[in-house]
Structures are given as structure tokens and as C-alpha cells.
Structure 1
Amino acid sequence: MYGVSIGIKPQNTTQLIARIKKGLPLKTFGQLCKNLAVPEKELCRILKIPLSTLARRKKSGQLSFEESERVFRIARLYDKAVELFKQPEFGRKWLKEPAWALGDVAPLDYADTELGAKEVEDLLGRIEHGVFT
């Protein structure tokens, strides 16, 4: 199950969906910044969360449903990259470097939409199975 890197340990997909709908704790955002080794401002840009909204979330301690989905989307890709490349630093590096298969855009930037994230996930699957495109 993905999401462990940001402290989510649901028993099943139904529980995971319920947690995301409820809104993830703000600490998941901070953990994702740490895992990716990116500043808050950079992660806000990728997740399309205005800095003023992040400031409000720091007061409430909880992300909205939409923000939670976006945080989980990037965390899932991070987890998959780490699983594939076997070490966090290699997964992190891969996510940040331009990828030819994504039009020379870094996977992390390409994944700023659900469709882009799906493409990144597909690319990770192709790499895993030795299909280089």
C-alpha cells in the first residue's frame, strides 16, 4: 500500500479513500517536502496550493479533500520510485530530473495533474519491466 512514506498506514483502499476524503493532516505535506527534499514553496507550486492557503492550513492542521488527493498522488509516485530504484535518494533524483519520455520535463513537474501523474506512473512501470521509450 502506498502512502507509508507520509505516515499513512490504512488497512485497505476503502480506509485510504475515507482518510483522503476527511482531509489528511498537514504533517503529511511536511513529510512529503522532507522526502522529496524540496522547500514548501516548491511543493506548493507542484500541488497548486497557494502559499496563503498553506498558511491557513498550518493553523487548522488539516488539508482539504482536494489538497489531500494531490499530496497523496505525489507521495504515491515517490513511493513507487523508491520501490523501483531501491533507495530514497535515487527515487528522489529520478523524480526531479528531466525525462526524455515526458518531453524533457521532470516527472515531479509532469505529475502536477492527475493525467500527468498517470503518465509518470506508466513510465515507472515501463522502466520496471525494461521497456524504455
Structure 2
Amino acid sequence: MKHSKSNRYQEQEQTLLIVSEPPTAAYVAGSGYFEFIQLSRSGIIKKALLNLSRQLSFTLSEIAHVLHISERTLQRYADDAKLSADTSERAILLSQLYQRGTEVFGDLENFKEWMRTPLPAFNYQHPISLLDTTFGFQLIQDELGRIEHGLFA
């Protein structure tokens, strides 16, 4: 049983991992979305979330705010505990956003810096401050598309 938990964590860690390489065409075309749906429904493990948080340089308070969960509640979960479907879905969205940003900016560090810079496109707010709503996620995704195609707002 211990081996099973370890494998499940490794799969989730890979799913939430931000890498510089673009995903494969089949993955982008939609086959990966069923994996994300299943992972959201079954819940990600807290340890995978904490690794994502470290990779993105989010404090526990920041990640809790994005996930709509109190920092204290997040602290109470055991490392191998599964998070709720809603919390898991938001963590996956966050991972996907940073993956996309890494693709557009060519480097995770450049994208992380951009996310913490007040920008005119976001009414001089830091993009990271918009991550508490799905509308904020979409606004950032849209801006990444404009940047990728050389259309600046």
C-alpha cells in the first residue's frame, strides 16, 4: 500500500510540474483534459501542492488565497492527504497557467517576475493578485496569448 501512495504522488507531482518544454500536441488537443478532470475529482495530495507552491515561489498564505482555503486548514492536512475537488482543480489551473507562462516567456523565472509586476494591462495590479478568481486566470491567459502573438494592450 505504501508503494501505491508513492506512485500516486509521483504521478501528481509530474502533472503539476512546471517544465520549459511545450506539451505534446495530443496533450494540448484535449486528451490530457480527461486526466485533469479525473485528478480534480479524486483530489491531489497536499505534498504535490506544496512542491508546486515552492516551484512557483508562493508562500503558504499566497497559495491558500488562490485555492480559497484558509492557511490554517491547509496546514492541518497531512502530507499524503487528498485535497477537495475544488481545491485540486484550482491547483491544476495554477499549474497550467504557469506552464503556459513559461512557454510564452521561455523561462519560469521570467514569468514569475512578470506575475509580480504591476502592469497596465491589469489596471496596474500585479497579475498574481488576480488569481483568486477564474476571471483573473482567464484575463492572464488572454494577455499571454496577446504577448505570444506580439499584440500588447
Answer whether TM exceeds 0.5 for this pair. yes
Q: Is the 8 A contact 1:95 1:106 kept in 2?
A: yes
CA distance in 1, matches of 2:65, 2:102: 22
> Which aligned runs of 4 or more in structure 1 are off by greater than 3 angstroms?
none
The structure number with the bigger radius of gyration is 2
CA distance in 1, matches of 2:12, 2:99: 7
- 2:121 match: 101
**1:116 aligns to 2:136 (yes or no):** yes
Q: Secondary structure at the match of 2:109?
A: helix
TM-score of the pair, normalised by structure 2 = 0.76
CA distance in 1, matches of 2:143, 2:76: 35
- 2:93 match: 73
1:1-50 CA distance string (max 9 Å, x none): xxx99521886221221111111111232122112112212221232210
CA distance in 2, matches of 1:39, 1:119: 23
TM-score of the pair, normalised by structure 1 = 0.86
List aligned pairs for 1:1-133, cutoff 5 A.
6-8=13-15, 12-58=32-78, 61-133=81-153
Q: Is the 8 A contact 1:111 1:118 kept in 2?
A: no
**Runs of at least 5 residues in structure 1 that lack an aligned partner in the other structure:** none
1:30-83 CA distance string (max 9 Å, x none): 122112112212221232210221023236621110101111111111111111
The letter for the 1-side match of 2:72 is S
**Runs of at least 5 residues in structure 2 that lack an aligned partner in the other structure:** 1-10, 17-26
The letter for the 2-side match of 1:76 is Q
CA gap 1:56/1:121 in 2 versus in 1, 3 angstroms: same
CA distance in 2, matches of 1:59, 1:30: 9
CA distance in 2, matches of 1:21, 1:42: 23
